[in-house]
Structure 1
Amino acid sequence: MANTILELLDQEQGQYVSGEAISRTLNVSRTAVWKQIRKLEEQGYVIEASRKLGYRLLFKPEPLSLEKLDGLLKTQRFAREVRLLNEVDSTQNEAQRWAEAGAPEGALVIAEQQMSGRGRMGRSWVSPYTKGIWMSLVLRPSTPIHFAPQLTLLTAVALCRSLRKSTELEIGIKWPNDLLIDGRKISGILLESSAEDERIKYIVAGTGISVNLDPSDYPEELLARATSLSIQAGRKFSREVVIADFMLEWEQLYDLYLKEGFGPIGTLWEALSVSLHTPVTIQTPQGELAGRAIGLHDTGAIKLELDSGEVRLVFSGEMGQPKQQ
């Protein structure tokens, strides 16, 4: 029934179809029609309803195409093995299970929708159907576990650089790995590791990118703090192109890191940062710190100059919005 309603709406190319006409065609009640409309909306279709005019189709979701993605990829390892799932609790969970079963480095899990997507510090992540990129990559670096925070920063640099190229938007990084446009968040990054004998067994690097979300996709309380690429650019983006560009940039920087260490990555991070040389506050496990972020330490810690002049390294915490001078 839902497919028939979709065909009726699609035929009208954005014009209204009355609920009565749909009911008559399907020989069902108006309530039954409304229930099927709701089902379509849950699948990502945007349908405008008017009591006087009926329903009209405003947006059709475009599922990811692995064939299209494969044709765009220029990587050697990253995303050469991909699992595309329609709906999951979290791509992190799926990728962790795959990693434990022996997934190679570069194996990628993508979901059209996450029901329990998670970000840093246990936060949830808005992941509507077919509108964003919700994915997790398996990494197997031969480095000690205490280097893992460097890979979080590397991921942020790779994503920021690739998105700036493909969207031409002024995207910056807030320490440690939030991507912002005009102070509003467009991406979340979460790295979770498994180790043996102080060596990394594998890392699952989760990334959520708000690509084609509309304002209506966000809870009202998030609109002041979150946005999407399409909202900021005023146009939609190919998710396959965004993924392919990101994978190439990520693989190249990852290989540079394995060859030359964190130095070049740290320099790139500082160049893209919106956190440096500005007053900030950081909520740490020991309490709030206030000062000026002056640089990045090789460990991935932020160098915070306190009002007293003391420079303190902050390894973990939640940075508030950088204050404009």
Structure 2
Amino acid sequence: MASYGKILSLLRASSDEYISGQDISTLLHVSRAAVWKQIKVLRDLGFEIESKHSQGYRLLSSPDVLLAAEIENNLDCRLIGQSVVSFPVTDSTNVQARRLAEDGALEGTVVVADQQSSGRGRLGRRWESPFGVNLYCSVILRPEIPVRQAPQLTFLSAVAVAETLNEVCHLSAEVKWPNDVLVDSAKISGLLNEMSAETEQIHFVILGVGINLNMSAEQFPEMLNYPGTSSLLETGEPVDRLLFLRTFLRRLDAYYSEFLQQGFAPIRRRWESLCKIMNRQVVVDQGSGLLRGTVVGLDPEGALRLQLEDGEIRKILAGDVRPVEK
């Protein structure tokens, strides 16, 4: 059976020209009937495909949906994205990724959705996930590292998100400890990493990523714990979500490979270079009280290093960090 993803690639490659059913059949080594069936699948997904007798098929327009076949096509990653699962709508990509991981899914499997009905953020907060505008994805990893090092992967994904926003969307994204990405002090991305492990062994880690790309002001909830923004609101230009996702996965793949070979140090340096509160005074709300000091970086495990007024370096393992306004 022909893959509709491969047929879609041929239609895109032919640009405004028609490509005959016979040519598609020959190139993909399938029957004309199989080609027709997959053309129907594409039309059902919302692709507008014109057919003309004796000339063939021509792609007129595409819906803004993320399809596994298009994401995988020539992705050229070593590990991440070798298997992609896509949903028009799902409860949560992290939930789906966990189910797949528990069933033995390959390391590097990516789960992506156009909409989440139960998207989750840090501390169990709801992550607004309207249809067809943002990026909601989760990646299954099975790193052979000590359990205590698993939180370092949060910083790896934060760096990959921020750098992709800067490259594709021409933004000046910054990272916020422990798991957010900001633009002009407004949250554009949140990361939710979850782990299944025993005392000495990691079974899997789920890297969950939510990035506001084409979200309008009206689509943000009225009450937010932190000011939110999107690439569209910052630049006025829509983002090609497929291009963004593929660029992000390639960067994540490269950094994960580097992490496994060289450890946390290269990622820590990149994270610190993207952190705008380095060497700035901040207030840390730890729930039980406030702590004031100067951010001096990350420690080798990923804790925030805070220099207090008396010179003591305090490791911050949890808390909400906000810069002191001058």
Same fold by TM-score, threshold 0.5 exceeded? yes
| Structure 1 length-normalised TM | 0.78
Query: Secondary structure of 2:104's partner?
Result: coil
Match of 1:323 in 2: 324
Which AA in structure 2 matches 1:304?
A: L
Distance change in 2, residues 1:196/1:222 (3 Å):
closer
Match of 1:211 in 2: 213
- C-alpha distance in 2 between matches for 1:316 and 1:81: 34
Match of 2:159 in 1: 157
- C-alpha distance in 2 between matches for 1:286 and 1:140: 35
Query: Runs of 4 or more off by more than 4 Å in structure 1?
Result: none
Identity of aligned residues (%): 37
Match of 1:74 in 2: 76
- C-alpha distance in 1 between matches for 2:76 and 2:169: 19
The yes-or-no answer on 1:108 pairing with 2:130 is no
Flag structure 1 segments of 5+ consecutive residues without an equivalent.
1-59
Which AA in structure 1 matches 2:103?
A: A
Deviation at 1:178, TM superposition (A): 0.9
Q: Is the 8 A contact 1:175 1:275 kept in 2?
A: no
Deviation at 1:318, TM superposition (A): 2.0
- C-alpha distance in 2 between matches for 1:182 and 1:300: 24
- C-alpha distance in 2 between matches for 1:265 and 1:191: 16
Distance change in 2, residues 1:295/1:96 (3 Å):
same
Q: Is the 8 A contact 2:66 2:113 kept in 1?
A: no
- C-alpha distance in 1 between matches for 2:68 and 2:316: 41
Match of 1:251 in 2: 253
Distance change in 2, residues 1:87/1:260 (3 Å):
same
Distance change in 2, residues 1:224/1:295 (3 Å):
closer
Following superposition of structure 1 onto structure 2, how do residues 286-325 of structure 1 map, counting pairs within 5 Å? Answer: 286-320=288-322, 322-325=323-326
Q: Is the 8 A contact 1:61 1:131 kept in 2?
A: no
Q: Is the 8 A contact 1:188 1:207 kept in 2?
A: yes
Following superposition of structure 1 onto structure 2, how do residues 53-132 of structure 1 map, counting pairs within 5 Å? Answer: 62-71=64-73, 73-132=75-134
Query: Secondary structure of 1:104's partner?
Result: coil
Deviation at 1:72, TM superposition (A): 5.5
Deviation at 1:122, TM superposition (A): 1.2
Could you list the per-position Cα deviations for residues 134-178 of structure 1 after superposition, in whole angstroms to 9, with x for gaps in the alignment?
111000000111101111111101111122111111100011221
Flag structure 2 segments of 5+ consecutive residues without an equivalent.
1-61
Name which of structure 1's ranges 74-83 and 210-219 shifts more when overlaid on structure 2: 74-83
Q: Is the 8 A contact 1:78 1:106 kept in 2?
A: yes
Deviation at 1:68, TM superposition (A): 2.9
Match of 1:266 in 2: 268
Deviation at 1:257, TM superposition (A): 0.8
Could you list the per-position Cα deviations for residues 240-288 of structure 1 after superposition, in whole angstroms to 9, with x for gaps in the alignment?
1111111111111111111111111111110011221112122225432
Q: Is the 8 A contact 1:72 1:244 kept in 2?
A: no
Query: Secondary structure of 2:73's partner?
Result: helix
Q: Is the 8 A contact 2:147 2:199 kept in 1?
A: no
Q: How many residues align?
A: 265
Select which of 185, 189, 192 maps to 1:183: 185
Q: Is the 8 A contact 1:131 1:210 kept in 2?
A: yes
- C-alpha distance in 2 between matches for 1:72 and 1:291: 48
Following superposition of structure 1 onto structure 2, how do residues 226-241 of structure 1 map, counting pairs within 5 Å? Answer: 226-241=228-243
Distance change in 2, residues 1:183/1:194 (3 Å):
same
Distance change in 2, residues 1:168/1:105 (3 Å):
same
- Over the aligned positions, Cα root-mean-square deviation in angstroms equals 1.7
- C-alpha distance in 2 between matches for 1:215 and 1:223: 16
Name which of structure 1's ranges 302-311 and 97-106 shifts more when overlaid on structure 2: 302-311
- C-alpha distance in 2 between matches for 1:224 and 1:259: 36
